[in-house]
Amino acid sequence: MDDKNFIKINNLSKNFDDVVAVDNVNINIGKGEFFSLLGPSGCGKTTLLRILAGFEYPSEGSVSIDGSDVTDIPANLRPTNMVFQNYAIFPHINVKRNIEFGLRKEKISAEEVNQRVSEALKMVKLEGYENRFSNQLSGGQRQRVALARALVKRPKVLLLDEPLGALDKKLREEMQIELRNLQRSVGITFVFVTHDQEEAMTMSDRVAVMNQGKILQVSPPRELYDFPVNLFVGDFIGDINLLNSEISNIDGKNVKVLINGIGEYTIQAHTIINQNDTIVTGIRPKSINISSNDNKKSDIQVKGKITNTSFYGNLTYVYVSIEGVDKALMLSTAESLQGLSINSDCYLNINLKDIRVIKKNDP
Amino acid sequence: MYKKNNTLLLYSIIYFAFLYIPVMLLPIFSFNDAIHMVFPLKGFTFKWYDQMIHSSRLHKALMNSIKVGLVASVFSTFIALLAAKAFTRYKVRFHQLSYGAILLPFVIPEIIIAVALIVIWTGMGFQLGLVPVTISHILFCTPFCLLILISRMEGFDKNLEEAAMDLGENAWGTFWRVTFPLVLPAVIASLLLSFVISFDEFILAFFLSSSDQTLPMYMWGQMRFPKKLPHVLALGAVIIVVTSLLVIISYWLRNLGNPSGKKSKIGGI
């Protein structure tokens, strides 16, 4: 066992009757890593988390944590603790007794219990709330109690099932930063389930993108955004312009593609592309530059017409229709659009290094 | 705008009058200084209550009923609690079938159950008495208890039990530290309600009790003697008050501390 394989998930599958919820998943998670499982609802991410927690048993495969196989170990004997989506704060006992709930089985003195509870309360900034009951707490406070209740057990792995989903936007963003800081300070491995790609991107060391029970890509957020392994990942993570394209020729990593509405170019692919793959090309909005004249500074210039703009404070999104492409291209710019407005003719400037050849099929 | 509908109001008044006026006659005549239940009232007296308090046969019947009621309510609530846990938490094989089988005593006429039990019980060579009465009451009360407990078990968040497991409790610890405290109001309601059902059950007791009378049987026996009628009225009045209180308490408890704050959909029996 080394730190990179703190959690090892091997060939893990889970079937519910005829439905395959988790399909042959292999992931290694490092010690102290903030690892996210990201995917649309029903993709199997929660089932995978519940298998890690011990609430579900896999149909096939194994899980080991810190070098020992926990596949057949029930939830109450695992070195994992969970923060539930609805927090699951026990309503019949107060905050203090909720937090010390899990310490009863650990043979420690009453003083140590009290000390650990007050440490945990301090960590989640809930000092003074010991005697409150669940129905006297706000959503954010309940979430902190759930965190404290799990962390007071000093688990090897903390599992979080969409814990921020029920909070409003501002509080959610605050909690994202707080959770991240908390994770860094306690050094516990976090496995975080979310369907919110922004949340996964801002908080995680690495993200696993799931769809239909399969892991499509496991990468750091930056890499996930810049080098999506297939169409699903590219489309799911952030905004992207997708253009229908065909492969003309393949020479190792250099792929000559005919991009609909733009032309034929040779692009260096980041994944292995075969002649019989169906592909699209993708360009992120931030990689398209807009100008009112043809300045020839980029690899590709395309003439277009502005159809719409939307202003987001620090960024402006501009939609430009170009001949031969059904959907207007989207680009984002932090600069003001000098002399450009809706219906203006414009030029789009794109560099070849920013164009991605993306497979439609699975990697 | 809704118009006030006087017809419906009138209907409600008649409905409740029909339901409660005959029952109210019992307490009224229990204070009447006459043997026969006829108007006009004669005079006010406590002597029927005095007679009631000093009847030793009545005391014996009351104790019998309490004994049967306590044992029957505890056992039927216990059985129903296990069944409710199974039906709401586990994949039960033949779920519909076994659920239906437990609820069946609801619809089987009591007299059928009584006849069936008397045949089996005496056929096995046992004496009739309070034991078969208690067993039949457990059988009869369990469906009521199950409905009360299932509605409560379904009403609370299953994640709470998973959270307890996650925090290191085994199945037993989870049940006692989380599940039981959360269903406790329903357990108490179930105990009270099954006690009341057992307490005023007549047919099963009549068939199975032999010479050990329960309270309803004692009352039925006294009805044959006109002179004894007034103290049965007094007893009836007391029972009405006590059982009403028990049912009200059970209903109140059932919804107490319900985390969702919603009232239970199945009303009081």
Q: pLDDT per residue over A165-205, tens digit each?
A: 878 888 888 889 989 999 998 899 999 999 999 899 999 99
Amino acid found at A220 = P
Cβ-Cβ contacts under 8 Å, A85 against chain B:
159
- A17 lies within 8 A of chain B by CB: no
User: What is the CATH number assigned to the segment(s) A239-359?
Assistant: 2.40.50.140
| Helix (H) / strand (E) containing A106 | none
Taking the Cβ of residue A204 and every Cβ of chain B, the question of whether any pair is shorter than 8 Å is answered with no
Q: Give the single-character DSSP code of B105.
A: G
Q: How far is residue B175's CA from residue B235's CA, in Å, rounded to a whole number?
A: 41
How many whole angstroms separate alpha carbon A86 and alpha carbon A161?
9
Domain B59-156+184-255 has CATH 1.10.3720.10: yes
CA closest to B178 among chain A residues: A90
Q: From first to last of its 269 residues, what are the pLDDT tens digits of chain B?
A: 566 778 889 999 999 999 988 888 888 877 777 777 777 777 777 777 887 777 788 888 888 999 999 999 999 999 999 999 888 888 878 888 888 888 888 888 888 988 988 898 888 888 888 888 899 999 999 999 999 999 888 887 889 999 999 999 998 999 999 999 989 888 988 998 899 899 888 888 888 888 888 888 888 888 887 777 778 888 888 888 887 887 788 777 766 655 444 444 444 33
CA–CA distance from B100 to each of A344, A347, B117 (Å)?
73, 73, 20
Residue A279 to residue A256: CA distance in whole angstroms: 12
Q: Which residues of A176-204 are buried (b: 16+ CB within 10 A; e: fewer)?
A: bebbbebbeeeebbbbbbbbbbebbbebb
User: A118 in the Ramachandran plot: left (φ > 0), alpha (ψ -120 to 50) or beta?
Assistant: alpha
Taking all residues of chain A, what is their mean pLDDT, rounded to a whole number?
Answer: 90
CB contact under 8 A, B157 and A86: yes
pLDDT greater at residue A82 or residue A344: A82
* Percent of chain A residues topping a pLDDT of 90: 58
Q: What is the ipTM of this complex?
A: 0.82
- For the ranges A128-142, A208-222, A331-345, the lowest mean pLDDT is seen at A331-345
Q: Measured between alpha carbons, how far is B116 from B75 in angstroms, rounded to an integer?
A: 21
Residue B1: per-residue pLDDT: 53
Integer Cα distance of A37 and A22 in angstroms: 12
Residue matched to tokens 């993570």:
A237
pLDDT value, residue B269? 32
Find the closest chain A residue to B171 by CA distance: A76
Fold type of domain A3-231: Rossmann fold (3.40.50)
For the residues A125-146, what does the mean pLDDT come to?
90
Domains of chain A by residue range: 3-231, 239-359
Give how far Cα A201 sits from Cα of A35, A333, B148, Å. 10, 21, 47
Nearest CA-CA distance, residue A201 and chain B, Å:
28
pLDDT digits (tens, 9 = 90+) for A278-333: 899 999 999 998 888 877 788 899 999 999 988 888 888 999 999 888 889 999 98
pLDDT tens by residue, A17-56: 888 999 999 999 999 999 999 999 989 999 999 999 999 9
Contact B163 A88 (CB under 8 A): yes
Does residue A16 sit at the B interface (CB-CB below 8 Å)? no
Cross-chain CB nearest to B166 (options A53, A91, A104): A53
**Cβ neighbours around A28 below 10 Å, total:** 16
Kindly list the domain boundaries of chain B, sorted by start residue.
Answer: 59-156+184-255
Between A152-156, A355-359, B216-220, the lowest mean confidence (pLDDT) is in B216-220
pLDDT at B152: 87
How many angstroms separate the CA of residue A62 from the nearest CA in chain B? 19
Reference A38, options A187, A224, A226, A241; nearest CA is A224
Taking an 8 Å cut-off on Cβ atoms, the answer to whether A92 and B257 are in contact is yes
pLDDT greater than 80 at residue A80: yes
Please work out, in degrees rounded to the nearest 5, the angle formed at the alpha carbon of residue B22 by the alpha carbons of B21 and B23.
90
Q: Are residues A29 and A207 in contact, defined by beta-carbon separation less than 8 angstroms?
A: no
Residue A148: pLDDT band with limits 50, 70, 90: very high
